[in-house]
Amino acid sequence: MNKAVIGLQWGDEGKGKIVDYLSENFDLVVRYQGGNNAGHTVIVEDITYKLNLIPSGVIRDKICFLGQGVVLDPEHFVNEYEKISKRISNPRIYLSSNISLILNYHKQLDKINESILTGDSKIGTTAKGIGPAYQDKVGRKSIKLYDLDNMISLKSKFEAIKKYYDPILDAFDENKIDLNQNIERLSEFYSQIKSLIIDNSFIKKNFQNKKILFEGAQGILLDVDHGTYPFVTSSNTVASSAATGSGCGPNSINYVLGITKAYTTRVGSGPFPTELNDEIGESLGRRGKEFGTVTARKRRCGWFDGVLVRQTIKIAGINGIALTKLDVLDELDEIKVCIQYELNGKKIDYLPSSSEDQFKIKPIYKTFPGWKSQTRGIRNIQDLPEKAKNYIYALEDFIGAKISSISTSPERDDTILIEDPFKV
Ligand code: GDP
Ligand code: IMO
Ligand code: MG
């Protein structure tokens, strides 16, 4: 049975840890959207792996595939590949020939896009060129990996790109596109990674009766269609993207596992109804080590938002939930969960569509007593304090989905299984 693992909040839910945990039992692990804006940290014994583009299944030496829904920064990929090769010899990583590339001008354009926004309207992107690269893909201007096989047509594609972007780059005092330098760099990159590039029918041809794990990046609230637009990333992070982004049919995803923290975090700007700008927020950040893997920015922290997670569960067609970072709440006297919002004096049970309203809503909380004892490292549901169990069951009840596992530390094996993930 194939599974997709996706984030239900604003990213950084602990997808990497869960994918690593599950991948033991899969034949192929696939990334299908996003780029090196993602940062997945996996801790196995005393080794910390930080992955951006390469699926976390690589740690267990699984076959890994980056589908054409991914946007790939060549320089970054080569560095990440070299780094992981020091730990895993000859990692089996393959790239769809249809992948769109992130090139230097995308990073320049990302910077320009942010520079023309002011105050609260800045997105706070990772500055990795993600938005402009996806814009080019949809605008039919991408350089694809397969283009690197024909330097003559590549040059003519670049000439058109240069004509289009040079006036913009110039207007914002950015260097214009250097055609020869781009061609030279790409030609060198191609010689380094040529052997990893495969036809897009790879999965269909080789993994028909095998088990595939799809590793999502970001989270549903950052989805370009379903998230807190415009404070989102530029790809679809919902599970159906696993099909379009990897060249599989929608029926090849048999189970969608949603990952959610026991509280909420967000990096970058945008509405965050349950954000805590106080000592409790600070303590969640400290205990949860909430610093962005990609940009080292401090993550904003807040209470669990039940309204949002209930909504993202419906959007994503979730079959089960992995609840992470329960241990971060261990020391709190009381714990709050948002169960409704107030907008213009009225109570509402959903996230309003416009960001203006999303900034205005006020959370309405239900308060739970804290358990004030250590759950960190617990691997069996019976060993959890009663109050922690009550919190978990209340969340499950409110969000309307089965919590199938609970993570109690960054360590691979500090995971409570409620439902055997390898059987469903
Ligand atoms: P991802 O982007 O969804 O893969 O999440 P990140 O790796 O960016 O952020 C999650 C962070 O929390 C990582 O540093 C993990 O090592 C850590 N983590 C994952 N699960 C747990 C947990 O149950 N408890 C604690 N304390 N940390 C965890
Ligand atoms: P993982 O996979 C958390 C956020 C950025 C910014 C917005 C747009 O580790 O969960 P972008 O560079 O994508 O155009 O930035 O999206 N963002 C993430 N936040 N985790 C991520 O990935 C993210 N990827 C992008 O901070 O607010
Ligand atoms: Mg992350």
Active-site residue numbers?
A: 12, 40
The residues lining ligand 2, judged by C-beta closer than 6 Å to any ligand atom, are 7, 10-12, 37-40, 123-126, 128, 130-131, 217-219, 222, 233-234, 267-268
Output the CA–CA distances (angstroms, integers) from residue 191 to 31, 194, 197, 328, 353, in the order listed.
23, 6, 11, 46, 47
d(CA 52, CA 78): 12
| C-alpha gyration radius of the chain | 22
pLDDT at 420: 74
* One-letter amino acid for residue 364 of the chain: I
Over range 394-402, report the average pLDDT.
97
Among 269, 223, 221, smallest CA distance to 117 is for 269
Find the 17 Cα to ligand 1 centroid distance in Å: 7
Which residue in 293, 371, 257, 304 sits closest to 6, CA to CA?
A: 257
Question: What is the side-by-side order of every strand in the sheet holding 28-31?
Answer: 197-198, 93-96, 63-66, 28-31, 212-219, 3-7, 255-261, 320-324, 403-407, 415-417
Q: Which pLDDT value is given to residue 208?
A: 84
Q: Which residue has the tokens 């990096």?
A: 267
Question: Span 324-331, mean pLDDT?
Answer: 98
Written as one letter, the residue type at 191 is S
Q: Decide: 8 and 313 in contact? Cβ < 8 Å.
A: yes
Beta partners for residue 326, in sequence order: none
pLDDT (mean) for 47-71: 97
Q: What is the pLDDT of residue 76?
A: 98
Mean pLDDT of 144-171: 96
pTM of the model: 0.97
Phi, psi of 406, rounded to the nearest 5 degrees: -130, 130
Mean of all residue pLDDT scores within the chain? 96
Span 261-318, pLDDT tens digits: 999 999 999 999 999 999 999 999 999 999 988 888 999 999 999 999 999 999 999 9
Pairwise CA distance, residues 327 & 17, whole Å: 15
Residue 164: pLDDT above 80?
Answer: yes
Q: Give 293 Cα–ligand 3 centroid separation in angstroms.
A: 6
Phi-psi region of 175 (alpha: psi -120 to 50; beta: other; left: phi over 0): beta
Is any atom of ligand 1 closer than 6 Å to the C-beta of 260? no
Ligand 1 centroid to residue 217 C-alpha, Å: 13
Q: Is 247 in the pocket of ligand 1 (CB under 6 A)?
A: no
> What percent of the chain has pLDDT above 90?
93
**pLDDT band at residue 422, thresholds of 50, 70 and 90?**
low
User: pLDDT band at 209, cuts 50/70/90?
Assistant: confident
